[in-house]
């Protein structure tokens, strides 16, 4: 019994010594003796406003002095979230077929890091949602590589495959239904004479 008590007591002492070793070291709150000389003059001036420097206007973006640089203006319009439509070639497909096509396109576009969401709107239309419109050229190129794509529509403009130009037929406006109620026959002026 004495032997077990002695072993138990020695293990307890060993655990206490080990616990003392694992305790993190104490750091004093008084750091007056520490010298911080890592900041040089350039570091100190980094965030200051330089009043001597004149702001230069963006090249080609002045309205009153000359023409506007269309490329830069278009680049500004492409920033931020964008929506585009891929119109599919007419074919005998169902909404489920277009949904499967949208899922396939979404996985391919995500693999390339280009698109967030792809939705099948109807049997012949796929909606592409991008978080960054700067990638619109790559998405357009991707859709033209797909054999199902007829044309690409973005910002109310239709884009066709390179070398292909054509006019899109506008759908006929819906016919107005004639209402029989509320119409009165007008008497002609000739009949009254």
3-state secondary structure of 169: coil
3-state secondary structure of 39: coil
> Residue 60: left (phi > 0), alpha (psi -120 to 50), or beta?
left
pLDDT of residue 103: 92
pLDDT of residue 185: 56
Contacts of 78 (CB under 8 A, 6+ apart): 133, 134, 136
Summarize the confidence of residues 131-150 as an average pLDDT. Answer: 87
CA proximity to 161, closest of 148, 176, 173, 178:
148
Summarize the confidence of residues 80-85 as an average pLDDT. Answer: 88
Contact 166, 160 (CB under 8 A): yes
Residue written as token pair 């003059």: 41
Contacts of 135 (CB under 8 A, 6+ apart): 114, 115
More confident residue, 181 or 140: 140
Q: Tell me which of 69-73, 78-82, 141-145, 146-150 is least confident.
A: 69-73
pTM: 0.48
Summarize the confidence of residues 92-106 as an average pLDDT. Answer: 91
Structure confidence at residue 156 as a pLDDT band (50, 70, 90): confident
% residues pLDDT > 70 (the chain)? 68
At residue 18, φ and ψ (nearest 5 deg) are -65, -40
């Amino acid at each position: 019994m004495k032997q077990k008590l002695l072993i138990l007591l020695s293990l307890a002492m060993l655990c206490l010594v080990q616990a003392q070793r694992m305790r993190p070291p104490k750091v004093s709150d008084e750091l007056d003796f520490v010298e911080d000389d890592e900041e040089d003059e350039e570091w100190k001036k980094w965030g200051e406003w330089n009043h001597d420097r004149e702001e230069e206007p963006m090249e080609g973006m002045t309205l009153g002095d000359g023409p506007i640089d269309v490329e830069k203006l278009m680049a500004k319009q492409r920033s931020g979230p964008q929506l585009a439509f891929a119109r599919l070639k007419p074919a005998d497909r169902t909404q489920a077929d277009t949904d499967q096509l949208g899922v396939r396109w979404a996985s391919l576009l995500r693999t390339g890091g280009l698109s967030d969401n792809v939705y099948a709107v109807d049997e012949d239309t796929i909606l592409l949602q991008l978080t960054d419109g700067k990638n619109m050229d790559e998405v357009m190129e991707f859709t033209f590589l797909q054999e199902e794509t007829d044309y690409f529509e973005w910002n109310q403009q239709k884009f066709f495959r390179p070398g292909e130009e054509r006019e899109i037929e506008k759908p006929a406006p819906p016919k107005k239904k004639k209402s029989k109620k509320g119409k009165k026959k007008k008497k002609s002026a000739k009949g009254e004479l």
